[in-house]
Amino acid sequence: MAGASSFLLAFHFLLIFSQYSTLAAIANYNVQNFGAKPDGKTDSTKAFLSAWSSACASTQPANIYVPPGRYFLSAATFAGQSCKNPAIIIRIDGTLVAPSDYNVNGNSGNWIDFQRVTGVSVIGGNLDGQGIQFWACKNSGKKCPQGATTLAFYNSNNIMINGLSSINSQKFHILVDGCQNANLVGIKVSAPGNSPTTDGIHIEKSMGVTIMNSNIGTGDDCVSIGPGTSNVWIENVACGPGHGISIGSLGWVLQEPGVQNVTVTSSSFTGTQNGVRVKTWARPSNGFVRHIIFQHLVMVNVQNPIIIDQNYCPFDQTCPNQASGVKISDITYQDIHGSSATEIAVKLVCSKQNPCNGITMEDVNLTYKNGPAQSSCINAYGKSFGLVQPNSCLRRR
Ligand SMILES: *[C@@H]1O[C@H](CO)[C@@H](O)[C@H](O)[C@H]1NC(C)=O
Ligand SMILES: *[C@@H]1O[C@H](CO)[C@@H](O)[C@H](O)[C@H]1NC(C)=O
């Protein structure tokens, strides 16, 4: 009896101690204590930046807390250059609202951006990019600013974005550029299917990016992967509306770092323009795309479920020889099934200068109007295994 109660007492002290030590170790910064107003109107940018400066000045792990409510932010850059803190959690229970007048932040390129930060996590939160007037400007053919990406991380390491929702960005919703080790989990992106250049998540010049358990519906690519990117893992993403998951556009410039080791797995595409796409400009370039796996994918009424397009050159831009220099090799398509919205479900248009090599098709079954679909290959070499429908058009070496 006495033994049990002293054990419980000791356990109790242990609990109190561990709670106390956690509290003692984490500094908390509530943006409202820095003057942020949850009224959706008062510009709270300065308050957010002050909370960030305080968290950065502390060397112990810090929480920046955004309570429920709507917070208007004009444009905010969270800079990490002088940040001493390697572990900052920004917990957002509220909604951050951008200016609806695109002249306020449309020229800066970003609405909310992080530069050279390490160990920053953004947990929860709704971001409302208010892009509607900007899209109207772009669609009218008028001269418009470049537009703002809603949330950008530049040259940053060990980033986590978990449970964030982004709606109606002017341009990209989320950008990961020049980063190492970024984990994006439970992301929700929403914008109309006809909103221009509203890519869900764009990655470039980055290494080690994971996107999991996310739902992306938007007007451009659900996920797009630009030059200089490696070790990307995309799992359990529902895409649609949108332009699918794309590697590219690549090969606009001559000297360009390549893309390698990308896996897209267990994901679905519903009513999208593309499923999985590799897209390169028909221009000279020393770039490459290799070691790519697209597997366990479901297509529902997708215009181009499987597509490689190395002849990209819209609007008469300069494509002197109409051939892409980007070398595409070792691409695997495995366990991909569902329906195509066009007759040609598999379209592999590779460069006449640099044919695609080492393409593998395994257990692919795509239908068109409940019947057989077609495949079309140009300069595409590789092998097929198991059931492949439409029949593989790959050439063997
Ligand atoms: C490929 O990327 C994954 C992450 O998606 C990583 O775990 C793996 O080590 C990478 N492979 C190589 C050879 O770099
Ligand atoms: C391919 O998929 C269709 C539609 O799901 C199905 O009816 C058909 O039996 C499948 N073909 C094979 C050979 O499994």
- CATH number of the domain that residue 202 is part of: 2.160.20.10
Residue 3 within a domain = no
Residue 88 within a domain = no
The first and second tokens of residue 284, run together, are 């000279």
Q: Tell the residue nearest (CA) to atom 12 of ligand 2.
A: 365
Place 397 in a pLDDT band, splitting at 50, 70 and 90. Answer: confident
Tens-place pLDDT, residues 249-260: 999 999 999 999
Residues in the chain: 397
Q: Tell the residue nearest (CA) to atom 3 of ligand 1.
A: 231
Tens-place pLDDT, residues 159-187: 999 999 999 999 999 999 999 999 999 99
Residue 139 within a domain = yes
Which atom of ligand 2 is nearest the CA belonging to 337?
A: 2
| pTM assigned to the model | 0.93
The CA 365 to ligand 2 mean position distance, Å, reads 6
Which atom of ligand 1 is nearest the CA belonging to 210?
A: 5
Residue 74 within a domain = no
The CA 262 to ligand 1 mean position distance, Å, reads 8
Ligand 1 near 235 CB (within 6 A): no
Q: Tell the residue nearest (CA) to atom 7 of ligand 2.
A: 370
Residue 327 within a domain = yes
- Give me the pLDDT at residue 17, please: 46
The CA 265 to ligand 2 mean position distance, Å, reads 21
Would the pLDDT of 297 be above 80?
yes
- Give me the pLDDT at residue 13, please: 47
The CA 328 to ligand 2 mean position distance, Å, reads 30
Average pLDDT, the chain: 94
Which atom of ligand 1 is nearest the CA belonging to 232?
A: 5
Ligand 1 near 181 CB (within 6 A): no
Would the pLDDT of 231 be above 60?
yes
The first and second tokens of residue 320, run together, are 């002197």
Residue 138 within a domain = yes
Q: Tell the residue nearest (CA) to atom 2 of ligand 1.
A: 231
Q: Could you give the C-alpha distances from 86 to 26, 58, 114, 157, 175, in angstroms and in order? A: 12, 10, 14, 10, 21
3-state secondary structure the chain: CHHHHHHHHHHHHHHHHHHHHHHHHCEEEEHHHHCCCCEEEEECHHHHHHHHHHHHHCCCCEEEEECCCEEECCCEEEECCCCCCCCEEEEEEEEEECCCCHHHHCCCCEEEEEECCECEEEEEEEEECCCHHHHHHHHHCCCCCCCCEEEEEECCEEEEEECCEEECCCCCCEEEECCEEEEEECCEEECCCCCCCCCCEEEECCEEEEEEEEEEECCCCCEEECCCEEEEEEEEEEECCCCCEEEEEECCCCCCCCEEEEEEEEEEEECCCEEEEEEEECCCCCCEEEEEEEEEEEEEEECEEEEEEEEECHHHCCCCCCCCCCEEEEEEEEEEEEEECCCEEEEEECCCCCCEEEEEEEEEEEEECCEECEEEEECEEEEEEEEEECCCCCECC
What b/e sequence results for 144-159 when a residue is b if at least 16 CB atoms lie within 10 Å of its CB, and e otherwise? bbebbbbbbbbbbbbb
Q: Select the more confidently predicted residue: 334 or 17.
A: 334
Q: Which residue has the tokens 């370039």?
A: 285
On whether the CB atoms of residues 86 and 116 are closer than 8 A, the answer is: no
Percent of the chain with pLDDT over 70: 94
| CB contact set of 10 (below 8 Å; sequence gap of 6+) | none
Which position among 12, 173, 243, 291 bears the catalytic label? Answer: 243
| CB contact set of 384 (below 8 Å; sequence gap of 6+) | 360, 361, 362, 364, 392, 394
Residue 55 within a domain = no
Q: Tell the residue nearest (CA) to atom 8 of ligand 1.
A: 231
Q: How far apart are CA 179 and CA 184, in angstroms?
A: 13
Ligand 1 near 233 CB (within 6 A): yes
Ligand 2 near 387 CB (within 6 A): yes
Indicate the number of domains in the chain.
Answer: 1
Ligand with an atom nearest the CA of residue 369: 2
Which atom of ligand 2 is nearest the CA belonging to 365?
A: 1
Q: Which residue has the tokens 């460069």?
A: 351
The CA 263 to ligand 1 mean position distance, Å, reads 9
Which atom of ligand 1 is nearest the CA belonging to 231?
A: 2
Would the pLDDT of 355 be above 90?
yes
Would the pLDDT of 271 be above 60?
yes
- Give me the pLDDT at residue 23, please: 52
The CA 182 to ligand 1 mean position distance, Å, reads 14
Q: How far apart are CA 330 and CA 294, in angstroms?
A: 11
Would the pLDDT of 318 be above 90?
no
Q: Tell the residue nearest (CA) to atom 14 of ligand 1.
A: 231
- Give me the pLDDT at residue 4, please: 52
Which atom of ligand 1 is nearest the CA belonging to 261?
A: 1
> Domain of 375?
112-389
Ligand 1 near 265 CB (within 6 A): no
The CA 172 to ligand 1 mean position distance, Å, reads 26
Residue 86 within a domain = no
Ligand with an atom nearest the CA of residue 370: 2
- Give me the pLDDT at residue 321, please: 84
Residue 202 catalytic?
Answer: no
Tens-place pLDDT, residues 182-225: 999 999 999 999 999 999 999 999 999 999 999 999 999 999 99
